């Protein structure tokens, strides 16, 4: 029987490409706030009841989470909290709850972003969250036992996103190529790694 992969954010740009990348080889379930069954990773009860309902599963990918772009002058606690509640605590929550019912050999893959290591102006509200996700994966990996693993995929700018924002997409990476990094996390031996293109 095919292993089961839960893709949180599976209706979004990266997540839908991860679903497409994996669906021939795995039983893939995409989830977001707008699916049924759904999950809001900002809500602990929602995350818990989702995993209670869909287990057993073998792997979890999170390709979801918001954070606030903008100049430092406008970076107040409200803006910082967007990333803390969504991309940071939301992903940590999914990882911690999913880990409780992750089988031996199972994996959790979170999503950060290259701004953690190579920030540009007006990205402090995003960069610190990406850095936290990378640090969480590195440290949590030390306590994953039984061949269980956790990694973070750290994509750079994605072509489709750059196009949507009116930017030159040529330096970007296609979302379909980024999706292969998630396969690498699921199928390889990496644990506590920040997987970059």
Ligand X SMILES: NC(=O)c1ccc[n+]([C@@H]2O[C@H](COP(=O)([O-])OP(=O)(O)OC[C@H]3O[C@@H](n4cnc5c(N)ncnc54)[C@H](OP(=O)(O)O)[C@@H]3O)[C@@H](O)[C@H]2O)c1
- Give the interface with ligand X as residue ranges (CB under 6 A): 8-9, 11-15, 32-34, 39-42, 63-66, 86-87, 90, 111, 113, 155, 157-158, 161
Least separation in angstroms between CB 130 and ligand X:
7
If 0-12 CB within 10 Å is exposed, 13-18 middle and 19+ buried, where does residue 145 land? exposed
Integer Cα distance of 42 and 81 in angstroms: 12
Q: Which is nearer to ligand X, 143 or 169 (CB)?
A: 169
Least separation in angstroms between CB 43 and ligand X:
8
Q: Which is nearer to ligand X, 107 or 109 (CB)?
A: 109
Q: Which is nearer to ligand X, 27 or 42 (CB)?
A: 42
**C-alpha separations of 133 from 1, 54, 60, 63, 82 in Å:** 32, 25, 15, 12, 15
Least separation in angstroms between CB 173 and ligand X:
8
Question: Torsions phi, psi of 127, nearest 5?
Answer: -60, -40
Which residue's CB comes closest to ligand X? 12
Side-chain-side CA neighbours of residue 107 (13 Å): 23
Q: Which is nearer to ligand X, 101 or 162 (CB)?
A: 162
Least separation in angstroms between CB 1 and ligand X:
26
Give Dmax (Cα) for the chain: 54
């Amino acid at each position: 029987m095919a292993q089961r992969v839960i893709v949180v954010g599976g209706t979004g740009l990266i997540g839908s490409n991860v679903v497409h990348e994996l669906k021939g080889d795995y039983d893939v379930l995409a989830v977001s706030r707008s699916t049924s069954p759904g999950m809001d990773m900002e809500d602990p009860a929602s995350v818990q009841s989702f995993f209670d309902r869909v287990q057993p599963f073998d792997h979890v990918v999170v390709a979801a989470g918001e954070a606030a772009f903008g100049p430092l002058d406008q970076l107040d606690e409200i803006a910082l909290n967007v990333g803390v509640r969504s991309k940071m605590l939301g992903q940590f929550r999914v990882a911690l709850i999913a880990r409780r019912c992750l089988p031996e050999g199972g994996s959790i893959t979170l999503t950060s972003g290259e701004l953690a290591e190579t920030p540009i102006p007006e990205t402090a509200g995003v960069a610190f969250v990406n850095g936290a996700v990378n640090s969480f994966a590195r440290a949590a990996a030390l306590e994953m036992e039984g061949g269980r693993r956790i990694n973070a995929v750290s994509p750079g700018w994605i072509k489709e996103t750059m196009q949507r924002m009116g930017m030159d997409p040529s330096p970007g990476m296609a979302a379909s190529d980024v999706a292969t990094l998630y396969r690498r996390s699921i199928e390889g031996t990496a644990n506590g790694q920040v997987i970059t293109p």
